[in-house]
Chains A and B, each alone.
Chain A
Amino acid sequence: MRRLTLFLIAIYSLSFILVAQDVSENNILELVDEKLNFQSDFSCQFTMVTYRAGAEPSTQKMSLFSRPEEIDGEEKFLAIVMKPDIDKGTGYLGQGDNYWIYDPESRRFSHSSARDTVQDSDVNNDDLGTADFNTDYKVVQMTEGMLGQIDCWILDLVAISDNVDYQSIKLWVGKKELLPYKEQDFSLTGTLMRTVLAPKWTVIEGKYIYRQVFFVDEIKRGNRTILLFDNVSLNTLPDHLFTKAYLEGSSR
């Protein structure tokens, strides 16, 4: 859920039965990361509907391309706004820890950060990266529970890395596929700040991929964002795609 580029994917685990048997506080985050991260290029189109209190919902369509760290030595992603026309050509480029936003009107790039939001939504640039629960958090409590009809492990996570956006997280992981269906993000003072829900998944080329994700701002009443994914492909992408030049060219 965090990090949606590479992300949108959960590897279809051929050995999920074995995993389910071996799961424990010590290895569950590693297993979840394995589910969410993959070794190939990824592309899709997604629709982002952003709801803001007192305003009409805004809808944006974007093309998204990503490449995992294993291929070029650093994680890469590129997202281009296709609709509405007023934002068409606006692009987001991520290379390792560097993020840029491209404005087609001024034809300029501005440096962004992992914490900045995508198109004033509830989705951060950081959400478009690979999942690294195992590196950033440790499990302090693991209980069992139901999320609707889904039998889940409920994990209370606390940050062990300085490189996190949220100090603690509550994660609902499906026992069967080890997929994260729900995430609650808490502030340093323990206030619930954001809830992320991933109720729908699809299987492509034997891998689990998100179909729909909800981001709910728990602080500002009425703010939420829905992501819907389409045209997912795991085909290899050309190298020149993850460059500033490509972004500039694509907006002309």
Chain B
Amino acid sequence: MRYLHVAIKNVVREKRRSLLLAGAIAFGLMVIILVGSLADGIMDSFINHQAGMISGHVVVKGYSYSARDNLISWMEKGDPILQKAKDFFGEGDRINRRSTTMGTFISGSEARQQFVMGIDPQLEEDLRDLLILEEGQYLTDEEESGILLSKEIAEELGLKTGDSVLLKTRTLDGVNNVGDFLIQGIIADDLGTVSSMAAFVHRSYLNEVLGIGSEDFTELHLFLEDSRSTDAVTGDFYKFLENENVALVERPENRQKRQEILARLTTENWSGIRYQLSSLEETFTFVYVIGVFLNGTSVLIMLILMGIILVGISNTLRMMIFERRKEIGTMRALGMQRGSVVKLFIVEMQIIALLGVFLGGISALLGGLIIHSITFDLNHTFFSLFLYRGHLTMSFLPMRFVVNGVIIMFLVWLASLLPAGKSAKIDPAKAIHNIS
């Protein structure tokens, strides 16, 4: 405690220097936290919105040959894959049955092609939270032919809530079909490109248009509690199904291979149903590459800043020791041990480092709030994929602050060791007479 008391007094005595040093540490920590939080925030934003809107973290398709000999993804109400998924995934993970198709929405003489997703509105509460409606309401059970259409498409077709729109598509087996939908809500374009990627309808009604049973589905979308490890979880689920002797479509090494595997599927002789598993990471590899790049950049920035901090601390401490040679000499002459001198300087630097870490944490938080408050008008551009309602999302993890803070404290300790050690070796007689 007595070291601490003396160290605090020394830190306070050299207010300006202490604050500058703590400020440098704070700045370094702030940048490290901000870059890391931004990288994670961008990835989280993409994973959660992208997956929530048009995909799952893990997607299962069940391929079989239709009566017309077309390769289609179609699973019936009681498909065994449902139970297998329930057996494998945890309580916190969600399993959603969805049906999808590509079709053309037609209103009068206007037409627009669109991806259509059939969902169970009451079971997809998360989607309700994710979708921001410009007008109208979320899908209700009372209106089975209800549809949520994006603002972009509604404007293009000149439609508003309450209007009817035709969907021209084909049944799973390729027969021409038309669905008549009633617009229940218009999806705002707050989520940029993602907002206009799909139209949402009741699965049972879309199934009618697709010519399959109302409880059937074309895809199984799995949403994980821990959405950061979609590829690993998909791999584990694949192995689980393999052990359960479920017929599977080979997992590809990359996206291009997936197309080759699917093409090969049509030439091989097989029957029954074969399940294909794909992770969000696999489907949107480019986004994950960007994530890896951002994280790599944050690590690089961290290393550079840590190096600067290390050198800065070491030099400042040398200067401090030089200026306080007489003081050290006097303390040593009064009987202070070498070890105690080392400890004193180390504690002093740790106090400054702690102050820096504290300030760094606060400034990172404030900086994050400022960055988050900026609105980017990037709707309908590629970059909108990484924004949430026009804002950059920061993912502040307490653990990131703690880990980086501890690393900085350790580095400061490391940087202090050598100069503090040297200070202990100063000859008291020479130091008192200011002889170097």
Chain A residues with CB under 8 Å of chain B are: 53-54, 115, 159, 162-167, 185, 187-189, 191, 193, 219-223
Contacts and interface: CB of A to CB of B under 8 A. Distances in A.
Interface in B50-70: 66-68
Nearest to B173: A162
Contacts of A219: 106, 166, 168, 178
Contact of B174 (A53, A54, A165, A221): A165
A220 B167 CA distance: 11
A126 to B, nearest CB: 10
Given A53-B109, A162-B66, A185 B179 contact: no
Contacts, number: 57
A189 B67 contact: no
Interface centre among B170, B173, B176, B211 (most CB of A within 10 A): B176
B176 A187 contact: yes
B111 A220 contact: yes
Contacts of B111: 220
B201 to A, nearest CB: 14
Contacts of A187: 175-178
A165 B175 contact: yes
Nearest to A192: B178
Contacts of A223: 109
B108 interface: yes
B111 to A, nearest CB: 5
A219 B168 CA distance: 8
Given A162-B68, A188-B211, A221 B109 contact: yes
Interface of B: 66-68, 106, 108-111, 166, 168, 170-171, 173-180, 208-209, 211
Q: Which 8 A-B pairs have the closest CB atoms?
A: A53-B109, A191-B178, A162-B68, A162-B67, A188-B177, A187-B178, A187-B177, A222-B109
Nearest to A185: B176
A193 B109 contact: no
B173 to A, nearest CB: 6
| A-side interface mostly | loop
Contacts of B208: 189
Contacts of A189: 177-180, 208-209
B371 to A, nearest CB: 44
B101 to A, nearest CB: 13
B177 A54 contact: no
Contact of A220 (B109, B170, B179, B209): B109
A166 B109 contact: no
A41 B208 CA distance: 42
A53 B110 CA distance: 8
Contacts of B209: 188-189
A139 to B, nearest CB: 19
Q: Which of A163, A187, A189, A221 has the largest number of chain B CB atoms within 10 A?
A: A187
A3 to B, nearest CB: 16
Given A162-B67, A187-B178, A188-B211, 5 more contacts: A115-B174, A162-B68, A188-B171, A188-B175, A189-B179
Given A221-B108, A221-B109, A164 B178 contact: no
12 contacts: A53-B109, A162-B173, A165-B174, A165-B176, A166-B175, A187-B177, A188-B175, A189-B177, A191-B178, A191-B180, A220-B109, A220-B111
Contacts of B180: 189, 191
Given A188-B171, A220-B109, A220-B111, A163 B176 contact: no
Contact of A167 (B66, B68, B175): B175
Nearest to A53: B109
Contacts of B106: 219-220
B213 to A, nearest CB: 14
A223 B211 CA distance: 26
Contacts of B170: 115
A163 B173 CA distance: 9
Contacts of B108: 53, 221
B103 to A, nearest CB: 11
Nearest to A54: B109
Nearest to B68: A162
A115 B68 CA distance: 13
B3 to A, nearest CB: 78
Nearest to A55: B109
A115 B67 CA distance: 17
Contacts of A164: 175
A164 B171 CA distance: 11
Give the one of B111, B180, B209 with max A CB within 10 A. B111
A140 to B, nearest CB: 17
Nearest to B179: A189
Contacts of B175: 159, 164-167, 187-188
Nearest to A124: B176
Contacts of B179: 189
Interface centre among B111, B178, B209 (most CB of A within 10 A): B178
Nearest to B166: A219
B98 to A, nearest CB: 21
Nearest to B171: A188
A162 B170 CA distance: 13
Contacts of A166: 175-176
A221 B108 CA distance: 5
A54 B157 CA distance: 13
Contacts of A191: 166, 177-178, 180
Contacts of A221: 108-109
Given A53-B110, A220-B109, A193 B178 contact: yes
Nearest to B104: A220
A167 to B, nearest CB: 5
A161 to B, nearest CB: 9
A191 B106 CA distance: 13
Nearest to A97: B69
B210 to A, nearest CB: 9
Contacts of B177: 167, 187-189, 191
Contacts of B110: 53
B63 to A, nearest CB: 18
B165 to A, nearest CB: 11
A188 B180 CA distance: 12
A221 B109 CA distance: 5
